[in-house]
């Protein structure tokens, strides 16, 4: 496999990384890792008005939290690598040099129009029901045959060479566009910064990027990029990167594009809530990619082995938080207890505050019991609090219970009293408790949904718990019987 693969993630520091951004980063990382290549992080900060302070750092923290370490770029030692700087606002000299090359070749010119004049052209085109093309208003050469010279105080435009294009996208397949897609776009703005359209082409060329993996918003501009590549002599097989366009991420309904209301959060928030990095990576990879089998749970190593751009789907991928919860549960179940125990205490402590008074061994037992049902670590207090605190008797647990609400209180009381007597004779080992509980079931002729629910509610005061015998064994005899007594008093 080629070792020259170089991919990059090139976010703009304009806010937190949404799942779409992370997916682009992840796929670029996977392509690089699979080929033993290089993954680059570059910050595209040429739109100063949209920049959000701290966002560059946040992006780095998010990638690191997911284990998507980069080899070159922002935040790496020694200037980030051999092609630095990796922050666009620090690369202005490069853009200027490339702009001058285009000017010298007669392929760029100073934009002579004010914004109001351009607006007037646009309105003319609209009135004539024609698409607005700036190149229809391209200024003519002067008496010496020169295009308007550029002194940096105005925008610099590309002098395009309109033509039809067909190109291959590693995900979307063969695409084409007519010459109406090509226009004289801005290379350098009058504020001295390059546009994205220009800067990314310069950077990808200087950084020897082999794969440009990015979102769909750039497809309609791709013919312009191809035209500029040609003007720069960057041709397919001779430095022009492969293009791969990611499918949209859709909301849970599978129709509209994902919005914040659909529950997609900052990945660092997911991590703080106790989602495992390996789940997030698995989940994000699954939005638009599968290996063609039924497999849904992938380790990061498996993804590195099996990922391919060719298997990324063209159509939109659904963001489904329920699936994320299920996946995290599956990853949590696959952890050994030591790892799970460590992850529940650091870097965040997820235990309910009362747990600090209890020995490690007790907490580990509890964790072993709830591991099966834990979907994210922040749920831990809700699932385990009753192991640490005697919760007050909650009458609604019985009055709101599907089965128990149909039974007369006197009968419930008698059932619970009989249960207490039976449990009193138990040594509270799981085996013995299981025995005693099954005997009780037979003797009382009750359904487990009645008898076991009653004992469970009495001994936990929680709407759910791990298996009854396991729960009672961990709570211990004294505490369990005390709690049953309190419930009896209230019935």
**245 versus 279: smaller Cβ distance to ligand GLU:** 245
Shortest Cβ distance from residue 74 to ligand GLU (Å)? 13
CB of 14 to ligand GLU, least distance (A): 8
| Strand partners for 357 | none
Among 83, 214, 331, 483, binds ligand GLU (CB under 6 A): 214
Q: Which helix (H) or strand (E) holds 252?
A: none
Nearest CB to ligand GLU, comparing residues 32 and 416 = 32
DSSP string, 347-395: SS--S-GGGGGS-HHHHHHHHHHHTTT-SSGGGHHHHHHHHHS-PPP-T
Q: Which is nearer to ligand GLU, 202 or 324 (by Cβ)? A: 202
Q: Determine, following the binding rule CB under 6 A, whether residue 160 of this chain makes contact with ligand GLU.
A: no
Interface with ligand GLU, residue 385, by CB under 6 A: no
Give φ, ψ of 338 to 5 degrees.
-60, -45
* DSSP string for residues in 282-304: HHHHHTTB--SSS-----HHHHH
Contact (CB, 8 A) for 45 and 51:
yes
Give, for 63, the enclosing helix (H) or strand (E). helix 55-65
Residue 40 contacts ligand GLU per CB under 6 A: no
User: Segment near ligand GLU (CB under 6 A), from 6-14, 96-104, 226-234, 285-293?
Assistant: 6-14
Rounded to whole angstroms, how far apart are CA atoms 51 and 339?
A: 39
Output the CA–CA distances (angstroms, integers) from residue 94 to 40, 87, 108, 206, 353, in the order listed: 18, 12, 16, 9, 56
44 binding ligand GLU? (CB under 6 A):
yes
For the bound state, the minimum distance from the C-beta of residue 12 to ligand GLU, rounded and expressed in Å, comes to 4
Q: How many residues bind ligand GLU (CB under 6 A)?
A: 8
Q: Is 33 in the site for ligand GLU (CB under 6 A)?
A: no
Between 274 and 316, name the residue whose CB sits nearer to ligand GLU: 316
Quick one: the chain helix, strand, coil %, rounded to 5? 50, 10, 40
Q: Which stretch binds ligand GLU (CB under 6 A): 8-16, 140-148, 307-315, 415-423?
A: 8-16
Task: Please answer whether residues 263 and 283 qualify as being in contact, where contact means their C-beta atoms are separated by less than 8 angstroms.
Answer: no
| Residue from 76, 163, 257, 260 carrying the catalytic annotation | 260
If one counts every other C-beta atom within 10 angstroms of the C-beta of residue 135, the result is 16
- Closest distance between ligand GLU and the C-beta of residue 245, in Å? 10
46 binds ligand GLU (CB under 6 A): no
Residue closer to ligand GLU (CB basis): 212 or 472:
212
- Which is it for strands 211-214 and 242-245: parallel, antiparallel or unpaired? parallel
Nearer to ligand GLU, 211 or 456 (CB): 211
Which distant-in-sequence residues (6+ apart) come within 8 Å of 89 by Cβ? Answer: 45, 46, 48, 193
Q: How far is the CB of 85 from ligand GLU (least distance, A)?
A: 16
11 binds ligand GLU (CB under 6 A): yes
DSSP 8-state class, residue 43: B
Q: For ligand GLU, which is the closer residue by CB, 200 or 483?
A: 200
Is residue 256 flagged as an active site residue?
no
Q: Please count the other Cβ atoms lying within 10 Å of the Cβ belonging to residue 480.
A: 23
Among 33, 83, 157, 200, binds ligand GLU (CB under 6 A): 200
Q: Can residue 278 be called a binding residue for ligand GLU (CB under 6 A)? A: no
Q: To 10 degrees, what angle do helices 277-286 and 321-333 make?
A: 140
Only one of the segments 9-17, 79-87, 359-367, 387-395 lies at the binding site for ligand GLU (rule: CB under 6 A); that segment is 9-17
Work out how close the CB of 21 gets to ligand GLU at its nearest, in angstroms, rounded to a whole number.
Answer: 7
Binding stretches for ligand GLU (CB under 6 A): 10-12, 44, 196, 200, 212, 214
Question: Which are the catalytic amino acids?
Answer: 260
């Amino acid at each position: 496999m080629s070792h020259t693969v170089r991919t990059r993630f090139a976010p703009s520091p304009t806010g937190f990384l949404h799942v779409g951004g992370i997916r682009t980063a992840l796929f670029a990382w996977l392509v690089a890792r699979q080929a033993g290549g290089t993954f680059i992080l570059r910050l595209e900060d040429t739109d100063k008005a949209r920049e959000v302070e701290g966002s560059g750092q946040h992006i780095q923290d998010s990638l690191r939290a997911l284990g998507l370490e980069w080899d070159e770029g922002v935040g790496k030692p020694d200037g980030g690598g051999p092609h630095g700087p990796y922050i666009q606002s620090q690369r202005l000299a490069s853009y200027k040099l490339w702009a001058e090359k285009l000017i010298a070749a007669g392929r760029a010119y100073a934009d002579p129009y004010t914004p109001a004049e351009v607006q007037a052209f646009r309105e003319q085109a609209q009135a004539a029901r024609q698409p607005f093309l700036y190149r229809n208003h391209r200024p003519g050469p002067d008496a010496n045959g020169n295009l308007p010279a550029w002194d940096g105080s105005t925008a610099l435009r590309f002098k395009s060479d309109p033509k039809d294009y067909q190109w291959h996208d590693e995900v979307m397949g063969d695409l084409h566009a007519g010459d109406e897609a090509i226009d004289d776009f801005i290379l350098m703005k009058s504020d001295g910064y390059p546009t994205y359209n220009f800067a990314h082409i310069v950077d990808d060329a200087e950084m020897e990027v082999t794969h440009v993996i990015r979102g769909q918003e750039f497809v309609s501009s791709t013919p312009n990029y191809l035209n500029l590549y040609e003007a720069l002599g960057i041709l397919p097989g001779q430095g022009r990167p492969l293009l791969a366009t990611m499918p949209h991420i859709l909301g849970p309904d599978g129709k509209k594009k994902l919005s914040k209301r659909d529950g997609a959060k900052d990945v660092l928030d997911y991590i703080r809530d106790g989602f495992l990095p390996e789940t997030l990576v698995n989940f994000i990879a699954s939005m638009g990619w599968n290996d063609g089998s039924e497999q849904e749970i992938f380790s990061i190593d498996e993804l590195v082995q099996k990922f391919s751009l060719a298997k990324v789907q063209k159509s939109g991928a659904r963001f489904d938080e329920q699936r994320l919860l299920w996946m995290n549960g599956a990853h949590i179940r696959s952890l050994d207890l030591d790892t799970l125990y460590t992850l529940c205490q650091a870097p965040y402590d997820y235990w309910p505050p009362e747990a600090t008074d209890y020995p490690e061994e007790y907490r580990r037992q509890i964790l072993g019991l709830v591991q099966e049902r834990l979907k994210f670590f922040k749920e831990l207090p809700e699932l385990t609090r009753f192991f640490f605190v005697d919760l007050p008797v909650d009458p609604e647990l019985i009055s709101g219970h599907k089965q128990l609400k149909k039974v007369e209180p006197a009968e419930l009381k008698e059932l619970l009293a009989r249960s207490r007597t039976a449990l009193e004779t138990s040594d509270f080992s799981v085996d013995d408790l299981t025995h005693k509980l099954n005997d009780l079931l037979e003797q009382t002729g009750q359904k487990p949904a009645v008898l076991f629910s009653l004992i469970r509610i009495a001994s936990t005061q929680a709407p759910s718990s791990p298996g009854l015998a396991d729960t009672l064994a961990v709570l211990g005899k004294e505490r369990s019987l005390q709690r049953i007594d309190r419930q009896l008093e209230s019935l």
